[in-house]
Amino acid sequence: MAEGHRITVEQGTDHVRVVRDGQVVADSRRPLVLRETGYPPRYYLPPEDVRTDLLTPSRTRTYCPFKGTASYWSLPDAADLVWAYPEPKPDVAAIKDHFCFYDADISTTRT
């Protein structure tokens, strides 16, 4: 990792729901929380807790030197709403194939 840059992944305890246009897209009580220097905490949800049947794969790919290459998925009215790391770097291996959503659609409840 770069000097001063840090990433941690831990088991979260919040109940995370992702609702888009009144439809529940994800509902998880077992999110992983990724904390990265310079970014807000991100919830990574197990694929079993995400309505993958609602998502369409995107051609978009992005690369992070700390996490690896991300793949994206879209909803009909929201391009590239969701991303995941199919082959993450070893330091963040726990997030493999977990889905992350942009904040605007996420609600959390402490449990």
Which pLDDT does position 74 carry in this prediction? 94
d(C-alpha 1, C-alpha 98), whole Å: 22
pLDDT score recorded for residue 21: 84
Within the chain, which residues score under 50 in pLDDT? none
The model's pTM:
0.90
pLDDT of residue 103: 64
What pLDDT is attached to residue 110?
A: 60
Domain ranges of the chain: 7-109
Q: What is the pLDDT of residue 49?
A: 97
Q: What is the SS3 assignment for 64-102? A: ECCCEEEEEEEECCEEEEEEEECCCCHHHHHHECCEEEC
Give the HSE-up count for residue 100: Cα atoms under 13 Å, Cβ half-sphere.
20
Domain 7-109: CATH architecture, name and number where available: Beta Complex (2.170)
